[in-house]
Amino acid sequence: MKHPNTYEFDVLILGSGLAGQSLALRLADSQRVAMVTKRGLEVSASAWAQGGIAAVLDQVMDSVDAHMADTFTAGAGLCDPVATRFVVEHSSGAVQWLIDQGVPFTRDDTAFGFHLTREGGHSQRRIIHATDATGAAVQRTLTEKVRQHPNITVLEQHIAVDLITGNKLGLTHNRCWGAYVLDIERDEVMTIGARHTVLATGGAGKAYLYTTNPDTSTGDGVAMAWRAGCRVANLEFVQFHPTCLYHPKAKSFLISEAIRGEGALLRLPDGTRFMPDHDPRAELATRDIVARAIDFEMKRHGVDCVYLDITHKPEAFLKEHFPNIHAHCLELGIDISKDWIPVVPAAHFTCGGVVTDLNARTDVEGLYAIGETANTGLHGANRLASNSLLECLVFAESAAKKIAAESITDIPTLPAWDESRVTDADEEVVISHNWDELRRFMWDYVGIVRTNKRLERALHRIHLLEREIDEYYANFRVSNDLIELRNLVLSAHLIIRCAQQRKESRGLHYSRDYPDLLPKAKDTVLQP
């Protein structure tokens, strides 16, 4: 007999960014889909993406091999060649699907009909975009369709507590059967059974003090998958975006890579350019190199930030190509046509994640991972700019095809969430204090430059936090803040363990104790 707070769907999608929404729309004509999102449908890292989507769209000037070569170079020898080819070969089709959905990409008078820009690490102009707010334009378009589709049930202000698996139910087969989900507003945990469960929860940028990510990026998918028995890989590769706006009133505002693609220069406060001293590609080097160079120069000169100079471009050009950046900076008293933009690096993208195959399947049957949550093999040791939205689209399509082809299975009777042995929390301050401590020591010890000693200190503090959180979780009713903190601490723990296993400096992982590159690139894989 079903508990009254139990629901069943064909597919349960946790997360509402580009990966989750594109998957839902591809499945909804034949499947009953539930989409769980912690805030509103529009709140995701995808919606904050500025630059665009990398794809082979100019068949004369560009090619699959050229896009792959750029991805391999950025990935520092660690990209999986099969996965990379799979993504790049499907890139033009993925973009065409978005065009067919009505996404208003920026047009021009070329034969292709759409403006293509160039970003760091790319040898060609291949970034299709909607001015400087591509993610927002894509998200608005898809969100409207998701809300209108009769087969998609949207659960906003809901957060997954944990996955329901065969192991946890005492069954012999460890398949995923859905998740326990907290209705944040009603403060009730519901049981959602599903034949297929998809993790599309984004990255773990909130583990760091400074990040370009929204507050929802708390490593939920990685943590839940790990607890369910999935492998994770390459979590040491946390990408720090080189240019986050440095201003006390500008929380997590990104200055797009495309600004440098259009000729912006990085300068010290006295006006000196420094990127040519760090890489022959200068400002168009890959993000890991630019972020490390900025970090180095800030520490060497004892300055709080560096500056991005695009003042050589006319104001009309800047308003046309970067209207949101221009307007936001102007609100803060920075006229980018006349003033340099103060910038600092900030945690931006989790390159590793839950190990998946080309159909987005994890190690647990019935459980999929797509988007930033997954480790597909595309990004290697450093993500190439604008490959992330592309990855969301391609693996959402492959997951949709696999799920649609699966035979229908009966969902077993699932137990209700048990709160009989817990009470209401007496001191919420424990959660906020632990959250603040985590973000500060991750920034100091597991940031752009690492050492063995720093990683040991971080792991010691992680163990202390985990004991406190486990005790709290066992004794008090769950809340949104507790669930996020629990997941974020576990994700941080896995990042540190991956970093400790890598005895070299490669891509985004730079260690002073192991500054050299090993002759053979190997993935860092952790098994539960």
CA 261 to each of CA 7, 24, 133, 307: distance values in angstroms, whole numbers, following the listed order: 49, 33, 16, 16
Q: Whole-angstrom Cα distance, residue 84 to residue 379? A: 8
Query: What residues contact residue 190 under an 8 Å CB cut-off, 6+ apart?
Result: 5, 6, 7, 180, 181, 182, 183, 417
Strand partners for 347: 211, 240
Query: Helix/strand/coil (H, E, C) string of 72-91?
Result: HHHCCCCCCHHHHHHHHHCH
Three-state SS for 368? strand
Residue in 175, 260, 287, 383 annotated catalytic: 287
Kindly report the CA angle at 401 between 68 and 10, in degrees rounded to 5? 135
Closest CA to 318 of 249, 252, 264: 264
Judge contact between 88 and 66, C-beta under 8 A. no
Alpha helices, H only, 53-178:
64-74, 81-89, 91-101, 134-148, 166-169
Q: Whole-angstrom Cα distance, residue 68 to residue 65? A: 5
Alpha helices, H only, 336-479:
388-405, 429-445, 452-475
Three-state SS for 306? strand
Annotated active-site residue 497? The verdict is no
Query: Helix/strand/coil (H, E, C) string of 502-520?
Result: CCCCECCECECCCCCCCCC
Judge contact between 477 and 425, C-beta under 8 A. yes
Q: Whole-angstrom Cα distance, residue 199 to residue 376? A: 13
For residue 59, count CB atoms less than 10 angstroms from its CB and return exposed for 0-12, middle for 13-18, buried for 19 or more.
exposed
Three-state SS for 523? coil
Closest CA to 158 of 7, 369, 25: 7
Three-state SS for 280? coil
Query: Which residues participate in catalysis according to the annotation?
Result: 287
